[in-house]
A and B are shown apart, each in its own frame.
Chain A
Amino acid sequence: MNIDNVSSRLREEIALVAGIVGDEVNIELSLTDNGVNSLGFVELMLAIEQQFGVKLMDSGLNREDLASVTALAEKIIQLAE
């Protein structure tokens, strides 16, 4: 599991919940700026749980973890290790 791989899979999941195409997801922006709302956020967390086997919702996520898609990818790797 490396950062590029996780970011790329995250990009696909974000595109799905935000209803945009993968290329439109900017990994330097936050989830909100990529069009994720509260319902989409829960769907994304559930998808991450399925794909990466990490329970982000119970991991005490904070604002820094969600500051960008890359930051979220780093959090996933950290929890998976």
Chain B
Amino acid sequence: MIFTHKYYLNGMDWVNSALHHQCRKTPAGGNSFLIALELQGVVEVRDAEKMVKSLQALSPMLNSSRTRQWFHLAPYWKFSKSSSLPEFSYISATSETELIEHCEAFINRPFRIKNEHLAIHFIVTVTDAKTLVCFKFDHRLFDGRGGEILLNKINAAWEVDGLVECLEPDCCSPQLTDWSPKFDSGKKVNRWFRDLKQYGRPYTFTGDNNKYDTASNKFRLLSFSATESSAIFQHAEQRLGPYMNTPYLAAAVCYALGQLCKERGYSDDERILLPMTVDLRDSRIGNEVLFFNQWSLAPFVIPIAETADFEPLADEFKRQFIDFSRSGFMQDIRNANLLTRIMPLPIFSRMSEEIFAGTAGSCSYAFIPESSFKSATFIGRPVNGLFHLPLMPPEPGVGIFMTTYRGQLTVTISYRDGVLKNREVDFLVTQLKELL
């Protein structure tokens, strides 16, 4: 595949560039996420090498750099002529407990070179005959679903003994026309956040200062079996109706966070701001859109005092979810951010903090109802599980992410070291387990 065009950043790409900027002092040096696949059996080094080599055709994109068009200043990705392959490492672990530590070490180290956007880490536990394959994605180029689409493509290439192929990114326009709807969206988004600010700064687990700028990232996993997951989804449907797993699980996360706020102490007027990531790809071309950020946000707001009772909380999340859909707010956030691309990143980062009432929220949240990667095997080995391990920017410093792979729900708690104490993470896990 030959990449012939420039790719101009959309509004959410620019948001991710700002998040990358905010993460620059952290050990990882930027904003990234892992997708981990747990495979049965030991993946041999030669197979790992073969898989990495199959990514050769994507090199122009995987080594690209961001720049601005000189006359209208719209930011774009400049495709590279480099043919270098993604960094690839192979390590053995003595026990399963070491796996998460290896994942933490992997996400907390920067990419090998500045313009590298994908790295792969194979962690083999010989005793259990398992391999955890971790893909580290630069969030400026990939979002969660994009990462899963790449796994599909790697798998397809493996099956035919060929190279990974993909469509050229389909965004060759700088989107500098049709300003009126963009400004309308900007007005709606500004108004929403101005209303939010009336109630003061939302509750944050980081406190008021930025002392977690240089902290490393930690993970905790909570896995549910297929039977347990099915019971959770059935209960969500009985409680809120069909297709309402997303607000139901968001309410469960908010409930657990609310209990933790109570443990920590909070003032009566404080609120939880839970920005939920929503994928906006449509199904027609969705499974071909590999690169860049096609998501937006639904920012749920709940007074902490109202998190005590789960049933009304779940109803409130459903109401807000429907309201966001009705008003087109998620599309507005995406469109409004097209207007921010003119700003240099340090200014945009500072301005975002101001708009978001001084914080990006209390806790990030995302739920993938069914992974785009559906295959039962990867590079010829059976897959036992798949989960996402996103790195958290210093603000909000905490995120709870849920992935479903072949009916099995996995919850990842991701946090900057020190934002949550170990016993607080245990507390969140217990709350979620008991509730779900």
Residues of A within 8 A of B (CB): 18-21, 31, 35-39, 41-43, 46, 57, 60-63, 66
Contact A41 B326, beta carbon cutoff 8 Å: no
**By CB atoms of chain B within 10 A, which of A36, A39, A66 has the most?**
A39
Q: How far is the CA of A18 from the CA of B285 in the complex (A)?
A: 10
Docked-complex contact B326 and A19, CB < 8 angstroms: no
A66 touches B278 (CB 8 A): no
Specify the main secondary structure of chain B where it touches its partner: helix
The answer to whether A20 and B284 have CB atoms under 8 Å apart is yes
A-B contact count (CB 8 A): 52
Known contacts: A19-B283, A35-B283, A46-B326. The answer to whether A61 contacts B321 by CB under 8 A is no
Docked-complex contact A19 and B325, CB < 8 angstroms: no
Q: A38-B243, A41-B243 are in contact. Are A46 and B282 (CB under 8 A)?
A: no
Contacting pair A18 B242 (CB below 8 A):
no
Q: B345 at the A/B interface (Cβ < 8 Å)? A: no
Contact B325 A46 (CB under 8 A): yes
Give, as a whole number of angstroms, the nearest-CB distance from A35 to chain B: 3
Known contacts A38-B245, A38-B369: does B325 contact A20 (CB below 8 Å)?
no
What residues make up the interface of B, taking CB atoms closer than 8 Å to A? 237, 241-246, 278-280, 282-286, 321-322, 325-326, 330, 369
User: Among the listed A35, A36, A42, which residue makes an inter-chain contact with B325, where contact means beta carbons less than 8 Å apart?
Assistant: A42
Answer whether A19 and B286 are a contact pair too, CB < 8 Å, given A39-B278, A39-B325. Answer: yes
Q: Are A18 and B241 in contact (CB under 8 A)?
A: no
8 contacts between A and B (CB under 8 A): A18-B282, A18-B284, A20-B283, A35-B283, A37-B283, A37-B369, A42-B322, A60-B241
How far does the Cβ of B184 sit from chain A's closest Cβ, in whole Å?
19
Chain A residues lying within 8 Å of B325, measured Cβ to Cβ, are 39, 42-43, 46
| Docked CA distance A29–B242 (Å) | 16
Inter-chain contact B286/A61, CB cutoff 8 Å = no
CB distance from A58 to the nearest CB of B (A): 9
Contact A66 B282 (CB under 8 A): no
Residue of B nearest to A16 (CB): B282
Q: Which residues of A contact B286 (CB under 8 A)?
A: 19
Which 3 interchain pairs have the tightest Cβ spacing?
A19-B282, A35-B283, A41-B243
Q: Decide yes or no: A62 and B283 within 8 Å by CB, A37-B369, A42-B322 being known contacts.
A: no
Q: Chain B residues near A39: list those with CB within 8 A.
A: 246, 278, 280, 325, 330
Measured between alpha carbons, how far is A46 from B328 in the docked complex, in Å?
Answer: 12
Q: Is the CB of B283 within 8 A of A57?
A: no
Cβ contact of A63, chosen from B242, B244, B282, B322, cutoff 8 A: B242
The chain B residue sitting closest to A65, CB to CB, is: B242
Within 8 Å CB of A42, what residues of B? 243, 321-322, 325-326
Question: Contacts A19-B284, A19-B285 known; A61 to B241 CB distance under 8 Å?
Answer: yes
Instruction: Output the least CB separation between A32 and chain B (Å).
Output: 8
Q: Taking each of B243, B245, B286, which has the highest tally of chain A beta carbons within 10 Å of its own beta carbon?
A: B243
- How far apart sit A12 and B237, CA to CA, in the bound complex (Å)? 26
